[in-house]
Structures are given as C-alpha cells and as structure tokens.
Chain A
Amino acid sequence: MDRRAFVSRLLDNRGDLLVVASIGSPTYDVTACGDHPRNFYIWSGLGSTPTVGLGLALAQPNKRVVVVTGDGDVLMALGSLSTIGVMQPKNLIIVCLDNGHYSASGMQPSATKAGVDLADAAKACKLRVEAVTDLSGAEKLRELLHSGQGPLFIHALVDADDQPRVVPSRDGIAIKQRFMSAIGTSV
C-alpha cells in the first residue's frame, strides 16, 4: 500500500481532527496532504509521538486526536502502548505506518520486518486494533478517525520506499503556537 495515498485518504475532509506526526517519514506524509494549523510535527525524540498524543487527548477529551507514526517510533516506545492502554483515552487514534524499515534513516530493516507484530503488541496493551493492507479499507478507517472509540491502533502495512520529502516548518515554538492558536489553548 502506498503510504502517501493511504494518509491522504485518511485525512480527506479531516474537519476538526488534531494530527500529531512523528519525526521522519510520517511527518512528510502528513505534510504532503497539505500543511494545516491543526498539525503538530515532532522533529526530535523518536518514540515520543504516542505520549504526545496521550497528553493532548487527555487535555482535550472532546476533540479527536490522530497520531500518525511509524514502526520505528512505536518500537522505541513499546511501553507507551501500555501507558495508553491503562489510561484508555476514547479520543486517541494511533495510525502506525509499518513498512518494516527505518525509511528516513537509511532503510535498515526494523523488528517488524523480522515478524514482530505491533498489532499484537497493541492488542496486548488493551488498544482496539484495526489492520489494513490495501486502500480498499481506507474509507472505513477514515470514518473511525471521526467516530470510532479509542484508544484505537490502526496497523497499516505500507510499501518500503523512501518517498520525496515534503518538509514543514522545523520551528518548534512556531508550530506549537500555531497549533495552540488554532484550537484556542494556552498554559
């Protein structure tokens, strides 16, 4: 499955969705759909994306939070799946684009290439799991982003390719301020 086409289908008519994208290819995939003030891009700290989504989902229980991440990010933070499983945020969806490789870092194989199953891991951590291997399932999953009960883990098997980078702002403070302005938050 082409990752760009899949993410594009998921974020079609995205409405009020809040999107958090991990460092590397997921950030490029989300940006390729069009930069958006309700996007937050993480440019460091591989493994942090699921818990950024958790903190945001807990703070904004009436908004839908979509984490777009990859196998590398989730593997580095497998424990965070259990943290999320304990908290059971109903408004959190994790979309894991699993290509079995570290595509933004040299295309080395990841553990999932050797058969480690992140869907099984998510299920064991009390997340609801939807698996998808081709675009025919994208529309149903797009609807789940807006109305499905979380915590939901969408395990998407995507092609191992290094697509052209579509690079958003790397100014963390600017991305943060824009996001918070868009949803009207402050601390």
Chain B
Amino acid sequence: MAHWDVEEHIHSAMQAGWPDRIHNVFKRHGIKQVGYVADNGIARLIDLCQNDSAITGVALASEAEGAGLVLGATLGGERAALLMQSSGVGNCVNTFSILKNCAAPCVLVVSMRGEHNDFNSWQVAMGSITESVLTLCGFHCVRVDNEADVELTTDAACKMAFGGGRPQVAILLGQEMVSRTKPKGH
C-alpha cells in the first residue's frame, strides 16, 4: 500500500476527520470494493473511496444490491464494505441473508437518520428500527457517537468481520456526529 498519512490528509482537508479515519482503516484492512448509495452524511467518505485507485467504488441503484456485491467480491478474494444511510438498511433485509448463509464478511457503515433533529420526520420510522433490523439480520452492531472513537471502533469492526468470528458487522454513525461534521455545501 502506498504511503498514506491520514493526519496530514485531514489537516489539508480542513474539516472533520472521521470520514478520512474510516477510509484509512479500510485501506489498512485491505478493503478493495466499496458499494454505496448516495448520502449527504457520508458524502466525503464516498468521495474518498471513489477517488482512491486502490478501491473500486460501486454506486448502487439500490442498497439491496450491496449484499450481492460483497458476496461476489468475497468469492473473488476481495474484501468489501458497504456505505448507506439507515433508510437503506430496510431495503436489504432479504438480500442480507446471502451473507449470513455463506458467512461472508461485510463491514457496513450506516449513517443514521431520524434520530437527532432530522428535518424529515418520515425518516424516524426506519431510523428508529435500523439497529434492531440489523441485529435480526445477523449483524453485530456498534455505534459511534463521538469522533474520537471512530478509528478504534472501525478497526475493531474490520477485525471482527475479517476472521474475528462475526462476519457481518455494522458501524452506526450517530446522526448528531454526522450532521455536526457535514462538509460545507452539504
């Protein structure tokens, strides 16, 4: 892997560093495919993955396609992660079953909606059940509400997913943290 100084990168970006830290952990764990559906909260993380020549970013038409992408990547010997907002989790309930049935490792990053002063009250319906749904689907869920925890938590999640005995791990990014640190223009 090419030299990648995340502190330098964060400094140059002059903004909140949690997306850079997650991206850096992805690189450290050799994640090669990242599937996502567009979302304001993780816009910078999506950009970092799309602009990284060592990662293939795949813009999915629906989050439901993500499980297939991850299973296919796994069969082909590439580690994969998914990025989506909490509403997208609801689109995946059945397709997540292929990951569980095959014990395919998946690191899922979820930006939460409907839990912290969301301007769109309709987001509450899915946001309030996201963690329960993921747990029922077989994911081990960890939350990050403080930026200081993001690197250690993401690293632990990757270790669990890739050989650590919990193949499907979801990292739920609290809406308060995500909205507070949105890049300008989002």
Chain A residues in the interface with B (C-beta under 8 A): 20, 40, 42-60, 77, 79-80, 82-83, 86-87, 172-173, 175-176, 179-180, 183-187
Identify 5 residue pairs between A and B in the complex whose beta-carbon atoms are under 8 Å apart, listed by A's number: A58-B33, A58-B78, A60-B77, A83-B59, A187-B162
Minimum CB–CB distance for B63 against chain A, Å:
10
Q: How far is the CA of A80 from the CA of B69 in the complex (A)?
A: 10
Number of A-B residue pairs with CB-CB distance less than 8 Å in the complex they form: 132
Q: Which residue of A lies closest to B72 (CB)?
A: A55
Do the beta carbons of B65 and A80 come within 8 Å of each other?
Answer: yes
Q: How far is the CA of A43 from the CA of B99 in the complex (A)?
A: 11
Do the beta carbons of B74 and A53 come within 8 Å of each other?
Answer: no
3 tightest A-B CB contacts, nearest first = A55-B72, A59-B76, A185-B77
Q: B69-86 CB contact bits vs A (8 Å, 1 = yes)? A: 111111111111000000
Q: How many residues of B contact A (CB 8 A)?
A: 36
Do the beta carbons of B59 and A44 come within 8 Å of each other?
Answer: no
Do the beta carbons of B75 and A44 come within 8 Å of each other?
Answer: no
Asked if B32 lies at the interface with its beta carbon under 8 angstroms from chain A, I say yes
Report chain B residues within 8 Å CB of A40: 75
Asked if B67 lies at the interface with its beta carbon under 8 angstroms from chain A, I say yes
